[in-house]
Amino acid sequence: MELTGIESTVALVTGAAQGIGAAVAATLAGAGAHVAAVDRNADRLTTTVAKLEAEGGTARGYTVDVRDSAAVDALVRRVEDELGPIGILVNAAGVLHTGRVVELPDRQWDETFSVNAGGVFNVSRAVARRMIDRRRGAVVTVASNAAGVPRVEMAAYAASKAASAQFTRCLGLELSGYGIRCNVVSPGSTDTPMLRSMLGEEGDPRQVVEGSPAAYRVGIPLRKLARPRDVAEAVAYLVSDQAGHVTMHDLYVDGGAALH
């Protein structure tokens, strides 16, 4: 099935320098979108945007920290001045701090919420204000299956992802009268730098695939990690015309790990 409604549309993707965000940027650029690739990591963003362009995509990089709401408002203005009206927003920027609640420092809790929930609010609000005027647009927030399944050492992350998922579904309700759809993609363990740094140098992805009773993980029923592309393809579907009647949905892309 060929996806339509993406070609020549301006797509703002946060967290686009690496991992899932970079795969989303590549998938949307491959479908003909004009990608505004946003990340706080300027060096990696430059490399990623150069790669997208070398592959024939149209992309421009913007270095912004999504926690800074004034900078986000200025970014959205600049993207629309330079590339045109934003028709697609994908919130993929995120951070992961793991640790038991009794040992979690304030700054890790704060950063987790200010990026994973606050960043989604800042960017979605700035873009939604413009989409409303045009009465069209599609938003996807990349949350996590951790939002729906309690896990040891994931309390801050899981709670922040539950916040971003429910925020996005509420936004979908508010914007539905304008024909704007807002959906969530909840990945399970996906082979990206975030997952590799959680596992550490000694870590073996098989622990995640096979499960760990100590961490209350059942493992991944499909017996493999997701690739960033698996998640990006679900995002592309949700922003396309083919998902024209889908909104406020939470699509789990986790090989069955959440058992729902």
89/134 Cα distance (integer angstroms)? 14
Amino acid 17 reads: A
**Helix, strand or coil for residue 52?**
helix
For residue 180, list its beta bridge partners: 137
**Which residues are catalytically annotated?**
157
166/160 Cα distance (integer angstroms)? 10
User: Least Å distance between CB 250 and ligand NAD?
Assistant: 12
Amino acid 82 reads: E
Burial of 8 (0-12, 13-18, 19+ CB in 10 A): exposed
Interaction of residue 255 with ligand NAD, rule CB under 6 A:
no
Amino acid 255 reads: G
User: Least Å distance between CB 240 and ligand NAD?
Assistant: 20
Interaction of residue 119 with ligand NAD, rule CB under 6 A:
yes
Residue from 34, 40, 181, 217 binding ligand NAD (CB under 6 A):
40
Please state the φ and ψ torsions of residue 138, each to the nearest 5 degrees: -140, 135
User: Least Å distance between CB 238 and ligand NAD?
Assistant: 15
CB-based contact 49:61 (threshold 8 Å): yes
Interaction of residue 94 with ligand NAD, rule CB under 6 A:
yes
**Helix, strand or coil for residue 210?**
helix
Residue from 27, 168, 183, 190 binding ligand NAD (CB under 6 A):
190
Residue from 66, 88, 155, 239 binding ligand NAD (CB under 6 A):
66
User: Least Å distance between CB 84 and ligand NAD?
Assistant: 22
Count, residues near ligand NAD per rule CB under 6 A: 29
Interaction of residue 230 with ligand NAD, rule CB under 6 A:
no
Interaction of residue 95 with ligand NAD, rule CB under 6 A:
yes
Q: Which residues bind ligand NAD (CB under 6 A)?
A: 14-15, 17-21, 39-41, 65-67, 92-96, 115, 119, 142, 144, 187, 189-190, 192-195
